[in-house]
Amino acid sequence: MKDIFITENFLLQNDRAVELYHRFARDLPIIDYHCHLPPRQIAEDHRFANLAQIWLSGDHYKWRAMRWAGVAERYCTGDATDWEKFEKWAEVVPKTLRNPLYHWTHLELKRPLGISDRLLDPRTARGIWEQCNAVLAREDMSCRGILRQMKVVLVCTTDDPLDSLEQHAAIAADPAFKTRVLPTFRPDRALAIDAVETFNGYVDRLAEVGRVDIGEALARFLDALRRRHDVFHAAGCRLSDHGLETVDAVQGTALEAAGIFARVRRGKRPSPEEVARFRSAMLHEMALWDHERGWTQQFHIGALRNNNTRMFRQLGADAGFDSIADGACARGLSQFLDRLDRTNQLAKTILYNLHPANNEVLAAMIGNFQDGSLPGKLQLGSGWWFLDQKDGMEKQINCLSNLGLLSCFVGMTTDSRSLLSYTRHEYFRRVLCNLLGADMHQGLVPDDVELVGGMVRDICHGNAERYFGFDLP
Amino acid sequence: MKDIFITENFLLQNDRAVELYHRFARDLPIIDYHCHLPPRQIAEDHRFANLAQIWLSGDHYKWRAMRWAGVAERYCTGDATDWEKFEKWAEVVPKTLRNPLYHWTHLELKRPLGISDRLLDPRTARGIWEQCNAVLAREDMSCRGILRQMKVVLVCTTDDPLDSLEQHAAIAADPAFKTRVLPTFRPDRALAIDAVETFNGYVDRLAEVGRVDIGEALARFLDALRRRHDVFHAAGCRLSDHGLETVDAVQGTALEAAGIFARVRRGKRPSPEEVARFRSAMLHEMALWDHERGWTQQFHIGALRNNNTRMFRQLGADAGFDSIADGACARGLSQFLDRLDRTNQLAKTILYNLHPANNEVLAAMIGNFQDGSLPGKLQLGSGWWFLDQKDGMEKQINCLSNLGLLSCFVGMTTDSRSLLSYTRHEYFRRVLCNLLGADMHQGLVPDDVELVGGMVRDICHGNAERYFGFDLP
Amino acid sequence: MKDIFITENFLLQNDRAVELYHRFARDLPIIDYHCHLPPRQIAEDHRFANLAQIWLSGDHYKWRAMRWAGVAERYCTGDATDWEKFEKWAEVVPKTLRNPLYHWTHLELKRPLGISDRLLDPRTARGIWEQCNAVLAREDMSCRGILRQMKVVLVCTTDDPLDSLEQHAAIAADPAFKTRVLPTFRPDRALAIDAVETFNGYVDRLAEVGRVDIGEALARFLDALRRRHDVFHAAGCRLSDHGLETVDAVQGTALEAAGIFARVRRGKRPSPEEVARFRSAMLHEMALWDHERGWTQQFHIGALRNNNTRMFRQLGADAGFDSIADGACARGLSQFLDRLDRTNQLAKTILYNLHPANNEVLAAMIGNFQDGSLPGKLQLGSGWWFLDQKDGMEKQINCLSNLGLLSCFVGMTTDSRSLLSYTRHEYFRRVLCNLLGADMHQGLVPDDVELVGGMVRDICHGNAERYFGFDLP
C-alpha cells in the first residue's frame, strides 16, 4: 500500500530535515502538558461507536469549516445521523485545501486509523467510513489503547477547581495503565465576576464542596480555592491555566478585591473597571500559590469568545464562534509579571498568544523576567488554536528564535479535546525539523547534525521532562 | 521579439505553477466586482491622447513614488507638459525596483500596450512614449476596446447615492457592448456627519433629488437614501461599499441617531462619540437594506486619510496622502456583525483590510458568522491599496487558507481608477498559481492538478460568478 | 585554515547574490550614522584587556541570553572573574542557535578577531580565549585600529545636550585619525518631565552649563537647549535622536508647555496628559531647530523600558530588561509630522520601529510627507534592537520595498555600544544582496546585475553619503 499524501517525509523538504526527524524526533514519547481531553473517557477506557463519534462530535474546528463551506447546521451539531454528518464532512474536506484541517484529517486517517492510500472526498467516503469503523472496533482502539499507541506518557487535562478529580484517581489507581493523567487547575469561573448570578452560584458550590461559609468574605473564598489547589497538587497537578482576552494594565489590590467581592455577593453588578481590578488581584494571589508549590502557570491570551449571540443561545460556548482579540497587552503583562518578580515570587510561566502580531511583544516581554534560575523559566507557548498550524508554528518558532532561545523551548502540546489529535505532535516535530534542516542546508546554522539534533530532542521531549517537575516513570 | 522581463512564466516558479496558470487561470474572463473606473469614460468610449493621459493623470500611486524619489510636484500634479511628466516618471521607474509599480508598469506596457522587449527607463522613454501613443490611437484602444481585449465581462463602479446613473444607463443601452457596467452604492458622504456644513449640503441635495422635505427628520433622510438604494438595484447594482478608518465598538440606536441628526441639521457640531453612534446606527440600517435585497456589503477598513494638510488644501483628497490606520477593531466588528446576525439579517459581507497585522483578526472574525447558507457568505477581501502587491496578496491568501477556506474565496478585484489596471487580475492569478504550485511541489497539497486547478478556476472566476447574483450573459 | 561556518558566501544563497555582494557591497566604507560607542574610548584609543572586556562587559544582549539559558546573574553583571564570565558565555553560545547572537558571535570572531575555523562552545572556549587575548594585545587592535580595519569612515555617537563634546574635539584634533566621529543631539532627559526631581536636576545643570537663570521659564530652558544645539552643530553634528515609547495623538502648544514647565519647576507632579502635552510641544520645538539647521531627526519608537523593577534597582537602565511596546501610533505620528509640514518646516526624518506589526503603518505614513525636495526625505530606519537580525532586516527591507522606494534607503547603522559590532554592516549587506539575488533568480527584478548592483551600492553607502550632508573627506 502506497502512501499518497502523508508520506514518510511529509513536510521534510531536504535531507537534513529528513535525518533530524527520523533520527532525533520521530520516536520520542509524548508529554502532552496541556489539553482538554475528558478524563472520564480515559477512566472508563471509552470506545467510539464510529468515525463520526470520535472525529466530528465536539470538534468545533470541523463545524466551523463546514459552515464556511455552506453546510447547514443540522449536519454540524444537529440531528442528522452520524453517517450523514460524516458524508457532509467528506464533501467539505477537499474544500479545506491549505487549511490545517486538510493535513490533520489525513494525518489522523493514517495514524492511528491506518488509511493512507486514499484522500477523503465524496468518492472515498463510504469505504473510509466502513474501514475506520472496523478499526475503531478493535481491542487496541479504546481511549487508553490510542494513548498507548501514540506513545503518550503524560496527559495534563484542564479542570475546574470544583472538579472532584475522581476520574484522575481512578486512572492513577490502575497500575496496568502507564500513561500518567494529571489535572490542571483552571479557575476561569472563579474570576468571572461580571456574570453576577453565575459567579455567585459558583462561589456557593465551592463553599459546599469546601464545607465553609464563604458569605461575603473574599478571604474565605480564597481559602477555599487554595484548599482545592492543595488537593490538585496532591493529585499530581503541576500546572495552572487561565484564559484571558487581554491583560489589563490594572493592578488590583487584595483590599479592593475584597470590597468588590462583597458587593457582588450582595448582588451588585460590578463596573468594567471593578471586573479588571478583581481579576488582576485574583490572578496575582493565585500566582503566589503556583510559585510556592513550584508549579507552572499558563496564560492563554487573546481569545474573543462567543461572538455569535444567536448560536451561543442555541449551542452554548466552544461551538466554533470564537475569534482573535486585538488591543494592547504589553504594559499589563509587564506590570503583572513585575509585581510578582519584585518579591521573587514569579512562578514558571507560559504565555500562549492568539494574535500573531503580538508574538514579538510576548517573546520580548518574557526576556525581561528570565532570572537565571532555570533555562527558559518563562516560555512563549506553542502556536495555539487558530495559530496551531504550519504557518503559526513557524512564526512562533522563528519569533522565539530571533528574540530568545529556541533551545530552551518546552515544545508542543495538543490543547485538544480529541484523542485523535496526537499526530499534532508529529506535525510539530516535522515542522521543527524542516525549519532546522533548511537552516543547515542554507548555512544559517552549522551543518552539524548532532548539535542540531540534540536541540530537536530537547524541544520535542527533554526540555518538558526537565521543566515541569512531573514525577514521571 | 523576446520578452525580457514579463515573460510567459513571470512569477511562476515551478512546473506545477506553470500548468495551473496556463491551463486553469489565464484565459478566464474577468469579473471586476469593485473598482473606481469613471463610468463616463466608458459611456463615451473615451480615447486617451497619450501615455501620460492614460497612465499618470490621476494615478496617486505613481505621484507618491515620484515624490519619494525627489521629483517636484510640478511633474506630478502640476503644469509640466504631458511629455515632461512622462519623462520624469521614466526616470523614477528604475528606482521603483521591488515596488509593485515596477511590475505593474511592465505588465501594462506588455498588455494591452504591446511593449515587452524593453524596460522603461530614461534611455527607452522617448521610444516607448511614441510607440504607445501610436498604439493608443488605434481603433481597439478606446475604453471599451481595452475592456474587450482584457476579457472584462463585468465592472462594478463605485458611486454616490446621489449619482444619476445616467452613464450606466447609456452603457446598458448599447447592445453591441457586452461588458456589463453596474453601479455600487457607496454612501460615505451620508455618514460623514462630523463635517457639519458639507453633510448638511449633502442632505439638502438628496432632498432635492428625492423631491422630499428632509428637514431635521432622520426617517425622511433614510427614506430618501432607501429610494436611491432601490434605484441602484433597478440599475443592476448588487453591492454596497463603505470606507471606514476603524470599526467603533459602539452600537448606536435609531433613536440616538435621530437626535444627533436633528441637532446637526440645526448646525450643531457633534462630539466624536456622537459621530460614532450616528455612523454605527446608519451602517446597521443600511445593512438591513442590503440583506433584504440580497446584496453584498463591502467594508474597506483601515485607511487613515488626508494626512497632509498642506497638500490637501492644494489638491484635495485622493492625491497620494493617505496611509494605514492602526488601533483595535475586533470588538467593534464583532458587535456590528452580531447585531445583524441576531435577527438573521446579516447580508453577504466582504471585509477588506489595510493593516496587515489585522489579517488574522478579520479572517477569524468572519468565521464566527458563516451560517451554512452559502459558501463563504463572509469574505476576507483581496489585498487592497497598499497591500495590493505580491506580498500583500500572499499574506491574504495564506491567512485565509490557514484560518478559513480559500476554496470559497471570490478572488481579485482591481479597486482601480485606471483602465490599464486589468493586468492586476493576471498578476493575482499568477501569484495564486505560484503559491499552489509550490504547495504541490512540496507535498503540502496533493499533487493532483485537476483538484487544485478546479480551486484555481473557482477563485479566479466561478466563485464570484455564483456569489454575487449578477445577471450575467 | 578552512572557514567552517562564516564562509565567504555566508547568507548568499545563489550566484546573483554572491556577485552582488562581492562586486558591489563588500568593500564599501562604513558610514555608521547612529550608534552608542563611548567617544572617550575612541579619544583615548582604548585597548581591551581581554575578550570578556571587549565582548561581554556592557553587552545586555548577551546577558539576556545568559539569563534565559539559566545562568546566574553573577556571571552576567556580577563579581565573577572575566574568565569565568567568558566560560559561561561559551556554554550558552550553542544554546543560541537561530538567535542573531549565534551569527554575530562567529562573525565577530572572524572579523576582526581572526578565528573562523572553530565554533565557540565549552570545548573551544579556552583556546579561543587565549588566541583572542593575544590578538587584542596587538598594536592594530586599539579602538581606532579596529575602526580603521573595518573601514569605518564616520561614526555618529549619541550624546546628551549637556555633554561637553570634549572627547569629540580631541578626536577631531588628531589629523592622523581619519574616521570622523561626530556627536548626535539626544535630549531624552530634557523631555522626561514625569520624573520631577531628576528633571529639575537636569534643568539646573543645563542652567549652570549655559550660565543662565532658567528658573520657571520654559523660554529660557529652550534657549539654553538651543544653544547646546548650536554647539553640537559647530562640532559637526547633523542628527538628533529621540527615544519614544509611542507617539501620542496630542499636540501640546508652547503656552501649555510653559505652564506645565513652571509647575514642575515648583515641584508639582504632572498628570500623564500634561506629560504628553509637554513632550509633544518640546518635540515640535526641537524639530524646528533640526529643520532650520538642515539636520536629520531620528525617532526610535516602541521600546517599553525598565520592565523589571528588582533588576532596575540593582543595575539601573540598559541592562537587558527592555521590551517591545504595543499600542497605536499612526494618528499621533500623522499629527506630529503634519504640524511641521504645514509650515514647510519638516526636517529630514528617520523613523525606527520596534514593533514589527507597525512596519507597514510607518512605511505608509512617511509616504504622506515625501515632498519631492530630495530622495527619501523621510526614511523607515533599518531593523533596530530586537529587530536587528536577519528576519527583522528582511521584513524592514520588504516592507519598505512594497510600500515605498527601497532604492532611496540610507541603509544600515549599528546602533551598538560595541566596537566589535561593525560586522553588522557586513551582515546587513549580505542580507540585502541575498534578497535581491533571489529576486533576480526568480525574475522578480530584471536579471541585470549593473542595475541591481547600483541600487546595492546606493543603499550600502551612496545614499547615506548624499543624504545627511556630512562634511566627509
Residues A207, C469: Cα–Cα separation, whole Å: 74
Name residue C31's amino acid. I
Q: Which of B96, B98, B119, B390 to mutate to test the interface with C (most CBs of C within 10 A)?
A: B98
Confidence of residue C159 (pLDDT cuts 50, 70, 90): very high
- Tell me the average pLDDT across C304-322: 97
Confidence of residue C346 (pLDDT cuts 50, 70, 90): very high
Residue B1: predicted pLDDT: 62
ipTM score:
0.97
CA–CA min distance A189, chain C (Å): 29
Cell numbers placing A179: 500513561
Nearest CA to A410 out of A469, A359, A472, A329 is that of: A469
User: Is the model's pLDDT at C145 over the cut of 90?
Assistant: yes
Q: How many interchain CB pairs under 8 A, A with B?
A: 139
| Closest partner CB to A326 (pick from B358, B377, B401) | B358
User: In chain A, what residues touch C99 (CB-CB under 8 Å)?
Assistant: 401-406
| Closest partner CB to B360 (pick from A64, A324, A327) | A324
Percentage of the residues of chain C whose pLDDT score is greater than 70: 100
Angle at C105 between CA C389 and CA C141, to 5 degrees: 120
Contact C316, B311 (CB under 8 A): no
Residue of A nearest to C324 (CA): A361
Distances (CA, A) of A152 to A60, A472, B91: 24, 12, 64
- Tell me the average pLDDT across A74-90: 98
Name residue A75's amino acid. Y
Cell numbers placing A139: 481491542
Distances (CA, A) of C283 to A445, B76, C247, C333: 44, 32, 11, 12
Contact A97 B398 (CB under 8 A): no
Residues A396, A393: Cα–Cα separation, whole Å: 5
What is the reported pTM? 0.98
Residue C380: predicted pLDDT: 98
User: Is the model's pLDDT at C421 over the cut of 70?
Assistant: yes
Contacts of C395 (CB under 8 A, 6+ apart): C356, C359, C383, C387
Contact B118, B8 (CB under 8 A): no
Query: ω into residue A112 within 30 of 0, thus cis?
Result: yes
- Tell me the average pLDDT across C179-202: 97
The list of chain B residues with pLDDT below 70 reads 1, 473
In the three-class reduction of DSSP (H, G, I as helix; E, B as strand; rest coil), residue B298 is classed as strand
User: In chain A, what residues touch B374 (CB-CB under 8 Å)?
Assistant: 70
Neighbours of C447 (CB within 10 A): 14
A346: left (phi over 0), alpha (psi -120 to 50) or beta: beta
Distances (CA, A) of C225 to A100, C190, C196, C297: 59, 9, 18, 16
| Closest partner CB to A7 (pick from B372, B407, B443) | B443
| Closest partner CB to B334 (pick from A4, A304, A356) | A304
User: Hey, which residues does A298 pair with through a beta bridge?
Assistant: A241, A350
Write the pLDDT tens digit of every residue in C16-70.
999 999 999 999 999 999 999 999 999 999 999 999 999 999 999 999 999 999 9
Residue C219: predicted pLDDT: 98
Residues C424, C29: Cα–Cα separation, whole Å: 13
User: In chain B, what residues touch A304 (CB-CB under 8 Å)?
Assistant: 330-331, 334
- Tell me the average pLDDT across C155-180: 97
Contact C455 B310 (CB under 8 A): no
Nearest CA to C377 out of C397, C402, C337, C349 is that of: C349
| Closest partner CB to B68 (pick from C404, C439, C452) | C404
Cell numbers placing B16: 506545477
User: Is the model's pLDDT at A471 over the cut of 90?
Assistant: no
| Closest partner CB to C375 (pick from B69, B304, B326) | B69
Q: Alpha helices of A20-96 — where are they, by DSSP H?
A: 39-43, 51-55, 60-68, 82-92
Q: Which of C323, C353, C389, C399 to mutate to test the interface with A (most CBs of A within 10 A)?
A: C323
Write the pLDDT tens digit of every residue in A221-276.
999 999 999 999 999 999 999 999 999 899 999 999 999 999 999 999 999 999 99
Contact C309 A341 (CB under 8 A): yes
Q: Alpha helices of B111-176 — where are they, by DSSP H?
A: 125-136, 143-149, 166-172
Residue A133: predicted pLDDT: 98
Instruction: Give me the phi and psi of C451, to 5 degrees please.
Output: -60, -50
User: Hey, which residues does B159 pair with through a beta bridge?
Assistant: B185
Q: How many interchain CB pairs under 8 A, A with C?
A: 138
Q: Give chain C's mean pLDDT.
A: 97
Residue A1: predicted pLDDT: 62
Asked whether the CA dihedral C112, C114, C120, C123 is positive or negative, the reply is negative
Q: Which of C2, C77, C98, C353 to mutate to test the interface with A (most CBs of A within 10 A)?
A: C98
Contact B390 C444 (CB under 8 A): yes
Nearest CA to C32 out of C454, C325, C400, C382 is that of: C382
Nearest CA to C357 out of B351, A301, A327 is that of: A327
